[in-house]
Amino acid sequence: MNAELIDTQDTLTAESATAVCPAGVDYTVEGIRAAVSPILRRLNVSASQRELARDYAFDDVRALAEQRITLVGIAKEDGGAGGSLRDVTDLVLAIARADSNVAQALRGSFLIANRVASLRDLPNRAVILRRLRNGDLFAGTANERTGGASGSVNTTIRRAGDGYVINGEKYYSTGGLYASWFSGSASDEDGTVLGFTVPVDREGVQRLDDFDAVGQRLTASGTTRLVNVRVGEDEIVARDNAQLDSPWLGSFAQLYLAAVEAGISAAVLDDAIWFARKKARPIKHSTAGKSVEDPYVRETVGEIAARAQAARAAVVLAAETLEGVRGLTGPAARAAGAAAAVTVAQTGVIAIESALRAAELLFDVGGGSITNRDLGFDRHWRNARTVANHNPRQWKAAVAGAYHLTGEEPPTTGLF
């Protein structure tokens, strides 16, 4: 399928194609977690073979969407399942533990849901809430391979009759093949950058399966071409975070990546335990009768477990810290937002390094047979490495250090 245009019938497309939230259903965090458990088990069992075959999990992602996973963290009065940011990140970590590709592909949907949960005055909030309650999924990106410095975009939006026309090409359209809606940014005649959201089956929207990274290969993160795509006034918004009391809206997006890394660490631990119990044999000069009795296998699995625990603990702490920013205004919101952004940045460092180290240690649990391609254990390191490259952890550490040493606030680029 590489670089082919995707047939929209294989995806969750537009509002008319999705299941409407059943009337009177009271969604809860516990109920959603219970409902998705068998889906996550299926994803876990098939993950390595699907990657080898480049086989997208369309049916299981659709099943997750039908369980209204993005309603976790949205208030009951808004038709959500309730719950905290910790509940959201716990769910993301569980999905990533089953298949980090799927968790990454759902990132845009959870980011949209978080904005709904966080911002009462979010433009088109009622419309977005309806789509979330309908089980719709979202994708989007501002990124362009032809974009300029500081995130400038070449995609254009121009007046045409009573609406607009968009032309351009976006890359890293994470989750694009699964989504019902695509959001991006475009520059008008005056150079003002506007946000837009359109259904993926709108004429002129072309999604390509051309993502070719070493890891996270099934995140549907390739190109979205926009060819004379018509949009209405109600489908565009001005983007300006500068006026917010806490301008670090990117903190949840970064926490999400850390949760994916923590999920990878947990998946590594699962595979290490399984292999040691079911497949491994003691090395010839070991005094152990079984691999689970070998002191070095035990030490290795213990360190993997410690790395997984550290990653999860850091993610939970960051989620609880970020939760504390909600409801604050003025200087208090800015101070708490900056501190939370730093906590999230530090969490990113821990989660990334934990996942990379755990994924490398996995191969010390066995001998040559643990490297067999059919096991697919190499995907854990490749996936962790690819997620880590979203935003350099050196910057995260340096920004945290500057904050602690001088009180310098993190950048408000969306990467903190």
DSSP 375: G
Q: How far is CA 282 from CA 291, 370, 374, in A?
A: 5, 13, 21
Mapped onto helix, strand or coil, the DSSP state of residue 213 is coil
* Per-residue pLDDT, 25: 81
* Per-residue pLDDT, 151: 64
CA torsion sign, 181 to 185 to 186 to 188? positive
The amino acid sitting at 98 is: A
Count of CB atoms situated within 10 Å of the CB of 192: 12
The whole model's pTM is what?
0.93
* Per-residue pLDDT, 20: 52
Exposed e or buried b per residue across 370-405, where buried means at least 16 C-beta atoms within 10 angstroms of its C-beta: beeeebbbbbbbbbbbbbbebbebebbeebbeebee
Residue 383 CA to residue 211 CA, distance in Å, equals 13
Could you tell me how many residues make up the chain? 416
Is residue 91 within 8 A of residue 72, CB to CB? The reply is yes
* Per-residue pLDDT, 148: 59
pLDDT by position in tens, the chain (length 416) = 334 444 433 444 444 334 455 656 899 999 999 999 999 999 999 999 999 999 999 999 999 999 999 999 999 999 999 999 999 999 999 999 999 999 999 999 999 999 999 999 999 999 999 999 999 999 999 999 876 555 678 999 999 999 999 999 999 999 999 999 999 999 999 989 999 999 999 999 999 999 999 999 999 999 999 999 999 999 999 876 567 899 998 999 999 999 999 999 999 999 999 999 999 888 778 888 889 999 999 999 999 999 999 999 999 999 999 999 999 999 999 999 999 999 999 999 999 999 999 999 999 999 999 999 999 999 999 999 999 999 999 999 999 999 999 999 999 988 99
Q: At a CB cut-off of 8 Å and minimum separation 6, what does 199 contact? A: 13, 14, 15, 180, 181, 182, 205
Domains, the chain, in order of start with CATH, read 8-137 (1.10.540.10), 149-238 (2.40.110.10), 251-406 (1.20.140.10)
* Per-residue pLDDT, 239: 73
Q: How far is CA 306 from the centre of its chain?
A: 24
Q: Which of 291, 267, 302 is nearest to 376 (CA)?
A: 267
Q: At a CB cut-off of 8 Å and minimum separation 6, what does 263 contact? A: 92, 93, 94, 95, 96, 97, 98, 100, 103
* Per-residue pLDDT, 43: 98
CA torsion sign, 396 to 401 to 402 to 406? positive
Q: How far is CA 83 from the centre of its chain?
A: 19
* Per-residue pLDDT, 21: 56
Q: How far is CA 25 from CA 39, 67, 261, in A?
A: 20, 11, 33
Find the DSSP H helices in 21-84: 29-53, 58-66
Assign 3-class secondary structure to 317-360: HHHHHHHCCCCCCHHHHHHHHHHHHHHHHHHHHHHHHHHHHHHH
Residue 186 CA to residue 153 CA, distance in Å, equals 7
CA torsion sign, 130 to 136 to 141 to 145? negative
Is residue 374 within 8 A of residue 367, CB to CB? The reply is no
CA angle 150, 216, 181 (to 5 degrees): 65
Q: At a CB cut-off of 8 Å and minimum separation 6, what does 90 contact? A: 316
Residue in the block written with tokens 């390191």 = 381
Assign 3-class secondary structure to 282-329: CCCCCCCCCHHHCHHHHHHHHHHHHHHHHHHHHHHHHHHHHHCCCCCC
